[in-house]
């Protein structure tokens, strides 16, 4: 049994639910600056070990890992404090909001011997897990292209105060899901080109950040990735267009994993066209009102994390993989800021002296 502390109890609610249902984890204590949020979670889960002081959480010697679900701008500071207190860190996406502090984080994780695991939740959704199994079994043959998008009407998100503060971006907070899925299959992305555009809607909320973005990525073998995001426009609805999708196309077959729908489409040589649905798992993945939170993915990743600890193995995405994804985002940002110029990911890492 491993012990978990959680900081940030908005989305942190999902990992509370996951830990309380797990036989591998004991939820030891939770923390939020806002005592009303702590009380709401205490009532919801009948769990009264809460504090408003992160320092108090870190001082608990019995905690093995801290799960961090605070606003994006605080992730670096909260991970650093967790590692320095001798805890593993499970950090929700985005790991970082820029490459500032990336090398320090890699070194701190190595020096303390504590893992930084990135909670890239989309990897742990049922259709995405099945797609990965098929990929690892070689069913796609030689992979040629990977296309991922995250398209949602996220205007509600602009009601959160911190989404309008310096540092927030749709690219780092939302589109990272699609970028991470492409990088999962094309870990050696070398080059990026693309465009971004800020709509009047984001501007009307006082946010000057691209909310429509389209990027092309290429790895060292010439394989092509596509990453797209739109965040403040009316959508077509999930039946017509998945909110998140990852499509792999290879010489022996293609597949598409979807989110929110629990649908997985395949066309592999000798198997014909198939669609698998996992609707019976809807209650496992979506535990609270509607589909606003998706705790099943967190359940899957904390069980995976515990297995890795048992085996003395590194849980992925680890800090280096997380930093490489941030470097790809930085290449996208730079390309779009410079009219679609071609940006090399390694140049960005070299400029910053990052060994990821």
Ligand X SMILES: NC(=O)c1ccc[n+]([C@@H]2O[C@H](COP(=O)([O-])OP(=O)(O)OC[C@H]3O[C@@H](n4cnc5c(N)ncnc54)[C@H](O)[C@@H]3O)[C@@H](O)[C@H]2O)c1
Tell whether residue 22 is a contact of ligand X (CB under 6 A): no
Within 156-215, which residues bind ligand X (CB under 6 A)?
Answer: 160, 162, 173
Q: How far is the CB of 224 from ligand X (least distance, A)?
A: 26
Please give the Cα distance from 53 to 191 (Å, whole number): 43
Q: Which stretch binds ligand X (CB under 6 A): 27-35, 261-269, 280-288, 339-347?
A: 27-35
Q: How far is the CB of 12 from ligand X (least distance, A)?
A: 6
Choice between 173 and 243, CB closer to ligand X: 173
Q: How far is the CB of 355 from ligand X (least distance, A)?
A: 26
Which one among 20, 33, 216, 226 touches ligand X, defined by CB under 6 A?
33
Q: Which stretch binds ligand X (CB under 6 A): 9-17, 104-112, 191-199, 317-325?
A: 9-17
Tell whether residue 92 is a contact of ligand X (CB under 6 A): yes
Number of shown-chain residues binding ligand X (CB under 6 A): 23
Tell whether residue 268 is a contact of ligand X (CB under 6 A): no
Tell whether residue 74 is a contact of ligand X (CB under 6 A): yes
Q: How far is the CB of 13 from ligand X (least distance, A)?
A: 8
Which one among 34, 204, 251, 292 touches ligand X, defined by CB under 6 A?
34
Tell whether residue 126 is a contact of ligand X (CB under 6 A): no
Which one among 37, 209, 227, 244 touches ligand X, defined by CB under 6 A?
37
Q: Is the dihedral of CA 229, 235, 240, 244 positive or negative?
A: positive
Please give the Cα distance from 242 to 231 (Å, whole number): 14
Which of 84, 9, 92, 76 is closest to 44 using CA atoms?
A: 9
Tell whether residue 81 is a contact of ligand X (CB under 6 A): no
Which one among 2, 5, 6, 7 touches ligand X, defined by CB under 6 A?
7
Within 307-346, which residues bind ligand X (CB under 6 A)?
Answer: none
Q: Please report, as ranges, the residues that interact with ligand X according to CB under 6 A.
A: 7-11, 31-34, 37, 54, 69-72, 74, 92-93, 119, 121, 160, 162, 173
């Amino acid at each position: 049994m491993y012990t978990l502390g959680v900081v940030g109890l908005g989305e942190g609610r999902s990992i509370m639910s996951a830990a309380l249902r797990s036989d591998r984890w004991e939820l030891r204590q939770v923390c939020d600056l806002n005592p009303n949020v702590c009380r709401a979670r205490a009532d919801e889960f009948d769990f009264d070990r809460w504090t408003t002081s992160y320092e108090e959480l870190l001082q608990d010697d019995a905690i093995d890992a801290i799960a961090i679900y605070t606003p994006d701008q605080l992730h670096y500071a909260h991970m650093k404090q967790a590692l320095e207190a001798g805890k593993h860190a499970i950090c929700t996406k985005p790991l970082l909001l820029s490459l500032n502090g990336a090398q320090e984080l890699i070194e701190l994780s190595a020096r303390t011997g504590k893992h930084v695991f990135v909670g890239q939740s989309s990897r742990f959704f049922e259709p995405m897990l099945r797609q990965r199994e098929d990929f690892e079994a070689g069913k796609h043959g030689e992979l040629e292209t990977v296309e991922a998008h995250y398209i949602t009407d996220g205007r509600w998100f602009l009601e959160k105060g911190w989404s309008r503060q310096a540092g927030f971006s749709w690219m780092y907070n939302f589109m990272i899901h699609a970028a991470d899925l492409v990088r999962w299959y094309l870990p050696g992305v070398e080059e990026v080109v693309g465009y971004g555009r800020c709509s009047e809607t984001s501007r009307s909320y006082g946010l000057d950040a691209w909310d429509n973005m389209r990027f092309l990525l290429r790895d060292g073998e010439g394989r092509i990735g596509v990453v797209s995001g739109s965040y403040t426009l009316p959508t077509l609805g999930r039946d017509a267009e998945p909110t998140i999708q990852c499509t792999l196309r290879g010489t022996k077959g293609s597949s598409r994993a979807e989110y929110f729908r629990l649908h997985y489409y395949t066309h592999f040589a000798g198997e014909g066209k198939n669609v698998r649905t996992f609707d019976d798992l809807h209650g496992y993945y979506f535990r609270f009102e509607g589909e606003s939170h998706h705790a099943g993915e967190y359940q899957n990743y904390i069980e995976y994390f515990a297995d890795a600890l048992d085996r003395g193995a590194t849980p992925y995405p680890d800090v280096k993989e997380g930093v490489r994804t941030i470097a790809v985002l930085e290449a996208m940002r730079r390309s779009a800021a410079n009219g679609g110029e071609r940006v090399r990911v390694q140049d960005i890492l070299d400029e910053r002296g990052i060994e990821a």
